[in-house]
Homo-oligomer: A and B are copies of this chain.
């Protein structure tokens, strides 16, 4: 596991313990919470044009940053409960995607 992700995961474990939230953090519930946070992220973009989404104002960009954080924090907690290493899973998936979608030939 990557050092920063490992550090975040350890902090999240402690955070849940100190608030007695572990009882709520079944993988099923964490997957729901992750999906809800992903939708809160999407909400910032739903009425924007693609062009506008490439040029967010500072306040929206900051709010989006917080939603991105929420998604990552639930993703790490879910992976932790399942004993999965998100960085390794991502690296493996990239390798699978490269096989599934070969690069375009040079023009």
- Measured CA separation A104–B28 after assembly (Å): 25
Mask, A18-55, CB within 8 Å of B = 1, is 11100010111101111111111111111111111110
Q: Is the CB of B61 within 8 A of A68?
A: no
Q: How many copies does the complex hold?
A: 4
Count of interface residues, chain A, beta-carbon cutoff 8 Å? 72
Given known A36-B39, A71-B34, contact A66–B93 (CB-CB < 8 A): yes
| Majority secondary structure, A binding face | helix
Q: Is the CB of A84 within 8 A of B64?
A: yes
Q: Is the CB of A28 within 8 A of B45?
A: yes
Q: Is the CB of A41 within 8 A of B47?
A: no
CB of A59 within 8 Å of the partner chain:
no
